[in-house]
A and B are shown apart, each in its own frame.
Chain A
Amino acid sequence: MTYFMLFLGLCFVLGGLAVASNPSPYYGVVGLVLASVVGCGWLLSLGISFVALVLFMVYLGGMLVVFVYSVALAADPFPETWGDWRVLGYGVGLVGVLVAGVVVSGVGEYMKLGVWTVDSGGAVFVRLDFSGVAMFYSWGVGMFLVAGWGLLLTLFVVLELVRGLSCGAIRAV
């Protein structure tokens, strides 16, 4: 089981690598799908099923689908992807940076720390992920409002950036 967890972690990093090293976003998003599926698997292994489900439905089923639809509008006919030697260089470079980071930061020694699963918590008889979300609506309402405003702000900023059809330097279809 430990090796399965390690495999999930490796796939997560490789998915991230696929996103970062792919010159075309249409193929890079495949790496994003892999990374988020594997991240869900990791969360499930800790017992955090609710957040994993939310991640799957909202991230993959909502945001990625919208991304795919919007780039289908503006796709170029022959995007370049893996198969170019330059991309191999990106991949090797990114893996090298990652290994150097892990070694330098000494994060490897933290692998020995135990992991709290979602059923632990002593006097708390509800699962931690549900109660965490409930906390978000009660004690954490300030953070909730701020996070909600942040997301809404991102929407407004994107709308402002692509406003004007072809009048500006960012081409809007």
Chain B
Amino acid sequence: MNPHAKLITTASLILGTTITITSNHWAMAWTGLEINTIAIIPMISKSHHPRAIEATIKYFLVQAAASASILFSSLINAWSTGQWDITQLTNPTSCLLLTAAIAMKLGLVPFHFWFPEVLQGSSLTTALLLSTAMKFPPITILLLTSNSLNPPLLTLMAVASAALGGWTGLNQTQLRKILAFSSISHLGWMTIIIIYAPKLTLLTFLLYTLLTSAIFLSLNTSHTTKLSTLMTSWTKTPMLNATLMLILLSLAGLPPFIGFLPKWLIIQELTKQEMTSTALTLALLSLLSLFFYLRLAYSSSITLPPNSTNQTKHWYTNKNANPLIAILTSLSILLLPLSPLILPTI
């Protein structure tokens, strides 16, 4: 992309995110969200491929509709209460509309259809941005308005997200779509607990960002986008595939890794709130996503492909591996022993 355009879009993404996160007036929150939406459009359509353009259009339409709904919800609240404070949203219609609008922004279940297609149409680094950085402002708004959201709708959307994220991800072979469905099911875990313990939502989101960044950057190094390419990518970067397996198991929520911490704390909090059946349902539904994470781990490290590879390891050494991968991978795998430091602050 043109360096000037890249500078403008990157700077605007940072500006938009900062504006939304630091806002306490609804107009500023909305402005930041709109700036983010507009600024990421050239990045999604960077390759000018018809699929990328289609992904751009879908992203823009859904996000614009969601931003408009957020604006309408704040307007209805301002009309009935006379103030625009983000934390003081009290009108019931506003709360309902805001819950639905944030769900549309994030990709929670009835409004998740755009997410896999948008991720599939963008490059791996843009998909990383869409899954992590672009979710940060809506999650912040969710945290700020956590006692103004509509609990039955939120619980329904969260459980449905965990279910559909797992089930529809089962038949996928394209890695970006699989990671989209993993994002949807993680969002389900994040939103089930927002009303009871918002800090757990923040913890889940931050750890999800860490793990997803590690995965996307590792996949970007070997340019793998499908399951079949993943099977033969061990020849390019053998160590990276081995660590990819461990990061995937961490994302699935298996105990020796950090991905286990949010699931454990959320189940504990749900049990304290006497929602044991919800906790059980969520835990069982995350088994579905465990299946496709295991399939990815299987393809990347555990098995060899049925076709022959010409040699054991590729001869060329110009692997443009991002140095960030080393940091993110180490954190994703080894951070669980630090959980006693996190627990008192929850």
Chain A contact residues, CB within 8 Å of chain B: 105-107, 110, 113, 143, 146-147, 149-150, 153-154, 156-157, 160-161, 163-164, 167-170
Contacts and interface: CB of A to CB of B under 8 A. Distances in A.
B31 A146 contact: yes
30 contacts: A105-B97, A110-B80, A113-B79, A143-B27, A143-B28, A146-B15, A147-B31, A149-B12, A149-B15, A149-B35, A150-B34, A150-B38, A153-B8, A153-B12, A153-B38, A153-B39, A156-B5, A157-B38, A157-B41, A157-B42, A160-B2, A161-B41, A161-B42, A161-B45, A161-B56, A168-B48, A168-B53, A169-B49, A169-B50, A170-B48
A113 B81 CA distance: 12
B265 interface: no
A149 B27 CA distance: 15
A153 B48 contact: no
Contacts of A156: 5, 8
A26 to B, nearest CB: 20
Contacts of A161: 41-42, 45, 56
Contacts of B34: 150
B325 interface: no
Classify chain B's interface size: 20 to 34
B83 interface: no
Contacts of B50: 169
A164 B5 CA distance: 14
Contacts of A147: 31
B19 A154 contact: no
Contact of A153 (B28, B35, B45): B35
Nearest to B6: A160
B79 A110 contact: yes
Given A146-B28, A157-B42, 17 more contacts: A105-B97, A107-B76, A107-B93, A113-B79, A143-B27, A149-B12, A153-B8, A153-B35, A153-B39, A154-B38, A157-B9, A157-B38, A157-B39, A160-B5, A163-B2, A164-B48, A168-B48
A160 B79 contact: no
Contacts of B12: 149, 153
B85 to A, nearest CB: 16
Nearest to B53: A169
Contacts of A107: 76, 93
Contacts, number: 60
Nearest to B4: A156
A146 B19 contact: yes
Interface in B6-65: 8-9, 12, 15, 19, 27-28, 31, 34-35, 38-39, 41-42, 45, 48-50, 52-53, 56
Nearest to A105: B93
Q: Which 6 A-B residue pairs are closest in the complex by CB-CB distance?
A: A168-B48, A160-B42, A169-B50, A169-B53, A160-B5, A105-B93
Residue of A107, A157, A161 with most chain B CB atoms under a 10 A cut-off: A157
Contacts of A154: 38
Nearest to B94: A105
A107 B79 CA distance: 10
Contacts of A113: 79
Nearest to B97: A105
Contacts of A168: 48, 53
Contacts of A110: 79-80
A106 B94 CA distance: 11
B45 to A, nearest CB: 6
Contacts of B2: 160, 163
A99 B41 CA distance: 34
A62 B53 CA distance: 28
B5 to A, nearest CB: 5
Specify which of A143, A149, A164 lies most central, judged by the most chain B CB atoms within 10 Å of its CB: A149
B27 A150 contact: no
Nearest to A142: B28
A38 B162 CA distance: 46
A143 B48 CA distance: 33
Nearest to A150: B35
B76 A169 contact: no
B48 A167 contact: yes
Contacts of B15: 146, 149
A27 to B, nearest CB: 21
B236 to A, nearest CB: 30
Nearest to A151: B38
Contacts of B38: 150, 153-154, 157
Task: Choose among A107, A160, A164, A170 the residue with the greatest number of B CB atoms under 10 Å from its CB.
Answer: A160
A164 B1 CA distance: 11
Contacts of B56: 161
Nearest to B72: A105
Contacts of A163: 2
